[in-house]
Chains A and B, each alone.
Chain A
Amino acid sequence: MSTLHLVRTSAFQTNDFEQCLNVIQSNDTIVLLDDGCYNLNHDLWQQALDKIVISALYIVAAHAQARAISVDDREVSSLSLEALMSLICETEKSVTWQ
């Protein structure tokens, strides 16, 4: 059973994202939201890319835009807030890292 990981904090400030990567399984999904969006430019993001297929790595577009973070679709998939809601409802299990 796969798990949805909601990452809400900056890895430059806390080690929540590192803890997430320590337990993650290859069929899981990661969503970067709120200050978690900053992790796109952290070295740890490469670990996420190594472990998870890119189609299961998301960033909430509005949250990235607010923070002037440019989104490259080779590194992450953009997600609308509506799509985030659908993803949460479709997923049986989720963990919020905050």
Chain B
Amino acid sequence: MSQTDKSVAIINACAPFSQANAKDSLDVALIFGSYEQTVSLYFQADGVYQLIAEQQPESIQQKDFLKTFAALEFYDIDNIYICKNSLEQRNLPAKFCIDNVQVLDRDEFGMSLLQHQTILRF
């Protein structure tokens, strides 16, 4: 398999504000996007909190890096998946800060994720 055939998946498993994982992950995704490397984003466990609508980071004096999710489409990052079970466990509605999020149940989520040759987890 040549280098260009490889696809990259990024798993996001942390809530957005208390650690830098979420921001770092987004930076990495944008770098892959800049180099036209295919990248898919997966959100599970507390990572699902990153996509929830109407968050207000400014109330804890944080920069609103979540706004950057809206720019993903300009980097041709269209494959964004979220784990339905993780949403349900947290009593969260499927109401997100961007439109093209695909909600997958646990089996679909796993199958989709494991199709990728390279998987990074933040």
Chain B residues with a Cβ under 8 A of chain A: 14-18, 45-46, 49, 52-60, 62, 89-92
Contact = CB atoms under 8 A, between A and B. Distances in A.
A10 B91 CA distance: 14
B56 A10 contact: no
A67 B55 contact: yes
A62 interface: yes
Interface of A: 8-10, 12-13, 34-35, 38, 41-42, 62-63, 65-68
A95 to B, nearest CB: 18
Contacts, number: 51
Which of A9, A13, A67, A68 has the most CB atoms of chain B within a 10 A radius of its CB?
Answer: A67
A62 B60 contact: yes
A35 B15 contact: yes
Instruction: Give me the 8 closest cross-chain CB pairs, A-B, nearest first.
Output: A66-B60, A68-B55, A68-B54, A65-B59, A62-B59, A35-B18, A41-B91, A13-B46
Interface of B is mostly: loop
B35 to A, nearest CB: 32
Given A12-B90, A35-B15, A66 B55 contact: yes
A66 B18 contact: no
A56 to B, nearest CB: 24
A34 B56 contact: no
Contacts of B89: 12
B46 A68 contact: no
Most buried by A among B15, B53, B54, B90: B15
Contacts of A13: 14-15, 45-46
A15 to B, nearest CB: 13
A66 B54 CA distance: 8
A8 B18 contact: yes
A63 B46 contact: no
Contacts of A66: 17, 55-60, 62
A38 B56 contact: no
Contacts of A63: 59-60
A62 B46 CA distance: 19
